[in-house]
Structure 1
Amino acid sequence: MENHTTRPHHVAVVGSGPSGFYAAAALLDAEPDVRVDMFDRLATPWGLVRAGVAPDHPKIKSVSSQYDKTAAREGFRFFGHVCLGEDITRDELLERYDAIIYAVGSQTERRLGIPGEDLPGSIASVDFVGWYNGHPDYVDLAPALDTERAVVIGAGNVALDVARMLLLPEADLRATDTADHALDALVGSSVREAVICGRRGPREAAFTTTELRELTDIDDLAVVADPGQVPADIADDDTLPKATRRNLEILRGFAAHEPDPGARHRMEFRFYRSPVEIRGDGRVEEIVLGVNRLETGEDGRTRAVDTGERETVPTGLVLRAVGYRGLALPGVPFDDDTGTVPHTEGRIDGDDHRREYVVGWIKRGPSGIIGTNKKDANETVRHLVADLAEREPVDRPADHGESVETWLRDRCPDLVDQAGWQAIDAHERGRGEPDGRPRVKVVDREELLKLSRP
């Protein structure tokens, strides 16, 4: 077969979050020469770094500077405000590109499946996080913050994030890039207590040590845990991973110390609890929790088993943070049980999908931290590049780059290119500068598009 390694290959990356940018960087480093066009349905890139990371974690958000460097490289183009399945199709991309990488993440929630889950005041964390981060899809969420207690279901970092955002002091909030509509609502909130409920015990909780430790630095916040659930010797088991032991030591500290009775805000960790029912007349008024015990199965996995005992907790706000879930892509295989695309080391399964690949959460499920996506993307790209070297190139005109952009602008008159995003970025940063904020986000789609135009 003729060797095509001397000509550029063209790859479409659908999704502009961390996994998409790590895949793009790996492709641009690859041999043979690869050109990358990145697509996103939003006008703005960066995915969860922009719309998922808590606003009071600017160090985590600083990874976006790496993505800026990738976007500035020769051979990279960004096309925002382009929706796969509406503006363009999978088949049209396959006609124009040697390969497609889907980097679309997990865009919806895992359901609790209990009565009352859809009562007003019961909110998925993915929606709440999008609301305070200025995601255009969630601007009109208007969560009910006229209650003194919020109950958060889940024992991972997202649960910690949403609870912490409800309880941060005003000065801390105003120093962040929290969307202005959410900033005003959170400052005026009546919430004084957040109860975080995990169905298993503190050993099984998925918090990271950094997130737990930083709770002690928040002014006017009392953090508590039941000493019976976090006993004095809980961290003494040397067979536990070091990270788990560190977490248990922090949680034990919360359980061992008397909380400041004068603190304005209170956060409680309540383990061995599962939601059974959410009740209320027209809105959330209380949640019923089932008390669990732990059992270890023959497979060695620890499971929460309902004891039949119940607790009723009055609350006007329930935040469901039990995990994210992927959505099916038009024309692409999908495993409904796992919420992921079936694949083998990033290659999508099936003879009809030999030029299609996945990275990130749509590949492996919603797990890991931002940096996990780099190794994940490198694995997929390694196979993709090997495959490119063995395939006949897609037939396309010599002016492929120009013809693709002409086609896209015809389909999407409001397309946002890299220059358009840079204009939005500069505007937002400029708005934040007078008040010492990283940026003041624009959340209205029409305003974003207007800012992006030359």
Structure 2
Amino acid sequence: MVTNGFFIYIFFFFTLLYQTVPCGKFLCIVGSGPAGFYTAQHLIKNEPNIEIDMFEKLPVPFGLVRYGVAPDHADVKNVINTFTSIAKSGRLQFIGNVTVGKDVTLNDLRTAYDVVVLAYGAAQDRWLGIPGENFENVVSARKFVGWYNGLPEESNLQLNLNVETAVIIGQGNVALDIARILLTPIEILEKTDIAQHALQALKESRIRNVKLVGRRGPLQVAFTIKELREMIKLPEVSNRIHLEDRDYIEACIPKTSRPRRRITELLLQSANTKQAEVKDAPKQWELIFHRTPVEIVKSENQRSVEGLVVGINRLKGDNWENPQIEDTGLRETIPCGMIIKSIGYKSLPLSEELPFDHIRGVIRQKEGRVEGMSGVFCSGWVASGPVGVIASTLQSGHDVGKRILEDLRKGNCASSTEKPGRDVILSQLATKGVEPVTFVEWETLDNEERERGKNQKKPREKIIDVREMIDIAKKAQS
């Protein structure tokens, strides 16, 4: 017997089924990294009436996956296969070699599209604000990672690896990535897609000791257990983990979450390793806690970094997850010839009218909706700051996609005039002499990089000159 409840269910089912976005809606995404692609993935999967254009300032897609993921993390880069499927779905148009804020403005995009999504990441370094920060061989993690990953703007970064000891300020995943790249045997790096100029420099490197310095303690480290395990298992490399209060750390373990507990137990276990067992290892890395950078000092001839002066801290309060840091007044100098700052990144506003928190380096937003700008959304690090890994960016991108569809279906992004879409933008670019790169053209460049890599028994050899990238990509038209 059919009940009234059955008909009510059917009514609501078809109401939801046909609550779609009106046809002809144009949407653009600024940035082709994980945040941009995951936002596009949700939109394409859940709404058939949207066309998406994706703008990228470089001629190549994938952003942080190409230029941020360590070259020896090939498994993480496999997500490029998912992004490629999205780009070739027929619903997304990649438009590379276009800088929003220079070649086109945010207002241009808002005029052309019903929805604009800003997903361009974080591209500015944070500063310590201490004397000596501008000395030679003091470099940010962002620049260093870009250098070994073949980011065009960092390919000529001047580095002196002819030193024994490097200090990395910071204890997150990026800090461990850099330490691992500095210490990994060359025969392993040679099989990755590391940039050739970086590989050659690392072959000649004299760095034998890498010290990772953090303000807090082992209970507050920001790296994951995967990264820690990789460091501990590095061939021909020993480790030294400085633990000053083992009893307190062990007492806190039962109060911690499972991920934190596993990391802490592994730190304790590794700190127990007898140095006699690894004394013959030619290289070493160290974790040094409770140290705040105070000053960077130069050698007597003023030509090179000689050391990092740090203040010795103690942690206060009952909140072990986020304790207060108290300066003991004690100072020490860590001798080194190179300093890498891995203390986070900030985003930059791409237009003056964009509501921006300059202190945090993020766009002001709520649930992905940019404050005071109807139809403008933001996703990823430009919204949240540089936190999380690619998996968390997936969830963030999908959440923003949901908000976009909610607003479109409710008419919150409605305009009194019909939007023209990409044609007007492409016309503007042509007038300015900008050469947009399509995804098909990127595939030509991709094939060239893979071919060059084969000659060196690598997955690919990245091309680092933008003009060369464009010239190769445009071969797709001939």
Q: Is it true that 1:66 corresponds to 2:66 in the alignment?
A: no
The 3 A distance-change label for structure 1 pair 298 and 235 is: closer
Aligned residue among 328, 344, 357 for 1:335? 357
Q: Superposed, which structure 2 residues align to 1:17-56 within 5 Å?
A: 17-31=33-47, 33-56=49-72
Aligned residue among 407, 410, 420 for 1:387? 407
Determine which structure has the larger helix proportion and give its number.
2
SS at match of 1:56: coil
Aligned residue among 76, 97, 113 for 1:97? 113
Cα distance in 1 for residues equivalent to 2:83 and 2:246: 41
Cα distance in 2 for residues equivalent to 1:321 and 1:134: 19
The 3 A distance-change label for structure 1 pair 147 and 52 is: same
Find the counterpart in structure 1 of residue 94 from structure 2.
Answer: 78
The 3 A distance-change label for structure 1 pair 339 and 297 is: farther
Q: Is it true that 1:410 corresponds to 2:431 in the alignment?
A: yes
TM-score in terms of structure 1 length: 0.94
* Aligned amino acid, residue 287 of structure 2: F
Residues 68-101 of structure 1 deviation map (CA, whole Å, 9 limit, x = unaligned): 0100011210111101111111111111100100
Q: Superposed, which structure 2 residues align to 1:126-275 within 5 Å?
A: 126-228=142-244, 230=246, 234=250, 237-259=253-275, 260-275=278-293
Q: Is it true that 1:10 corresponds to 2:26 in the alignment?
A: yes
Cα distance in 1 for residues equivalent to 2:248 and 2:354: 51
Residue 396 of structure 1: how far off its partner (Å): 4.7
- Kept in 1, the 8 Å contact 2:218–2:243? The answer is no
Cα distance in 2 for residues equivalent to 1:229 and 1:424: 54
The 3 A distance-change label for structure 1 pair 221 and 245 is: same
The 3 A distance-change label for structure 1 pair 230 and 20 is: farther
Find the counterpart in structure 2 of residue 347 from structure 1.
Answer: 369
Residues 292-324 of structure 1 deviation map (CA, whole Å, 9 limit, x = unaligned): 100127898312211111111111100000111
Aligned residue among 351, 375, 381 for 1:361? 381
Q: Superposed, which structure 2 residues align to 1:281-360 within 5 Å?
A: 281-296=302-317, 301-330=322-351, 331-350=353-372, 353-360=373-380
Residue 237 of structure 1: how far off its partner (Å): 2.3
The 3 A distance-change label for structure 1 pair 374 and 300 is: closer
Residue 216 of structure 1: how far off its partner (Å): 2.8
Residues 232-286 of structure 1 deviation map (CA, whole Å, 9 limit, x = unaligned): 9637621101111111122112211123111111001101111110011243111
Residue 435 of structure 1: how far off its partner (Å): 3.6
Residue 412 of structure 1: how far off its partner (Å): 4.4
- Kept in 1, the 8 Å contact 2:195–2:462? The answer is yes
Residue 5 of structure 1: how far off its partner (Å): 3.4
* Aligned amino acid, residue 19 of structure 1: A
Cα distance in 2 for residues equivalent to 1:291 and 1:137: 36
- Kept in 1, the 8 Å contact 2:65–2:77? The answer is yes
- Kept in 1, the 8 Å contact 2:58–2:98? The answer is yes
Cα distance in 2 for residues equivalent to 1:96 and 1:183: 44
Matched residues, percent identical?
A: 35
RMSD: 2.0
- Kept in 2, the 8 Å contact 1:8–1:32? The answer is no
TM-score in terms of structure 2 length: 0.90
* Aligned amino acid, residue 438 of structure 1: P
- Kept in 2, the 8 Å contact 1:227–1:256? The answer is no
Find the counterpart in structure 2 of residue 449 from structure 1.
Answer: 470
The 3 A distance-change label for structure 1 pair 366 and 222 is: same
Q: Greater Rg, structure 1 or structure 2?
A: 2
Cα distance in 1 for residues equivalent to 2:215 and 2:423: 54
Residue 411 of structure 1: how far off its partner (Å): 3.2
The 3 A distance-change label for structure 1 pair 431 and 151 is: same
Aligned residue among 437, 458, 465 for 1:437? 458
- Kept in 2, the 8 Å contact 1:235–1:249? The answer is no
SS at match of 1:7: coil
SS at match of 1:234: helix
SS at match of 2:168: strand
SS at match of 2:218: coil
SS at match of 1:328: coil
Residues 173-192 of structure 1 deviation map (CA, whole Å, 9 limit, x = unaligned): 10111100111001110100
* Aligned amino acid, residue 203 of structure 2: V
The 3 A distance-change label for structure 1 pair 300 and 5 is: closer
Cα distance in 1 for residues equivalent to 2:24 and 2:73: 39
Cα distance in 1 for residues equivalent to 2:266 and 2:321: 26
Cα distance in 1 for residues equivalent to 2:188 and 2:311: 35
Cα distance in 2 for residues equivalent to 1:392 and 1:207: 44
The 3 A distance-change label for structure 1 pair 205 and 114 is: same
SS at match of 1:373: helix
Cα distance in 2 for residues equivalent to 1:413 and 1:233: 57
Cα distance in 2 for residues equivalent to 1:415 and 1:438: 26
Cα distance in 2 for residues equivalent to 1:439 and 1:365: 31
Cα distance in 1 for residues equivalent to 2:245 and 2:89: 52
The 3 A distance-change label for structure 1 pair 342 and 410 is: same
Cα distance in 1 for residues equivalent to 2:184 and 2:248: 29
SS at match of 2:406: helix
